[in-house]
Amino acid sequence: MNRAVAIYQSSIGKKYLMAITGLIGVGFVIGHMIGNLQIFQGPEKLDHYAVALRKLGPLLYLARIILLTSVIAHVILAYQLSKMSWDARGYAYKKWKPVGSDYASRTMRWTGPILLLFIIYHLLDFTFGYASPAGYVHGHVYDNVVRSFQNPLITGFYVISMLCLGLHMYHGIWSMFQSLGLNDDKWTGQLRGVSVVITAIIVIGNIVMPVAVLAGFVR
């Protein structure tokens, strides 16, 4: 037990847990995207998919608990690691110039909170219906989604959030490879390529749906 606590309290242990919780998040985002893309197959297909999920019963609630726990842990670990970094430095930079970092890594502290706000709004709109702009009908997933994305402000917020997700996920996936010890000098290019491909698929897959609704391709 003491060893486990010591590992958790170390920056390496926290980064390892960040990688695991992040991996759970990536898996969910991919599965969620695949399910949502069924909107292009019509209302019956998407609504049937939603019904099938609800029929999972206890398994669905278990998945939700695991995902919620992972998100909360990810946020806490991110704060703790940032605080450890600030405390170790002991002073603020008078003049800061980025060295050895890219734009995605430098914006993690901003894209993270934006995504957290997006998740809250997303649940209030599509899961609970409290933020639905044109009336929420339980079980009518297709109609609820279309009504929301016909609003340019909602679609714009969704697209911006997905771009933030792309930046966050690209750096997160790359950092995950490093935290899990999978990075190697001869594989650096390939691993970065994998990070780019996964991120691009997720961002494009998530953006194409609201844009298609707003443009009138999905009615």
CA distance 79 to 172: 15
Instruction: Specify whether the CB–CB gap between 75 and 112 falls below 8 A.
Output: yes
pLDDT of residue 72: 92
Q: With CA atoms as reference, report the closest residue to 96 among 104, 87, 105, 106.
A: 106
Q: How many C-beta neighbours within 10 Å does residue 31 have?
A: 11
Q: Where are the domains of the chain?
A: 2-88+101-215
Q: How many C-beta neighbours within 10 Å does residue 157 have?
A: 17
What is the H or E stretch that residue 58 is in? helix 58-89
pLDDT of residue 113: 86
| Per-residue pLDDT in tens (0 to 9) along the chain, 219 residues | 677 777 677 888 888 888 889 889 999 999 999 999 999 999 999 999 999 998 999 999 999 999 999 999 988 988 888 888 777 765 555 554 554 456 666 677 788 888 989 999 999 998 888 888 777 888 899 999 999 999 999 999 999 999 999 988 888 887 777 766 666 667 677 878 888 899 999 999 999 999 999 999 998
Q: How many residues does the chain have?
A: 219
- Whole-model pTM: value is 0.82
Architecture of domain 2-88+101-215: Up-down Bundle (1.20)
For the packed helices 152-179 and 141-149, what is the interaxial angle rounded to 10 degrees?
A: 100
Residues 6+ away with beta carbon under 8 Å from 154: 125, 133, 148, 210
Residues 6+ away with beta carbon under 8 Å from 24: 66, 67, 70
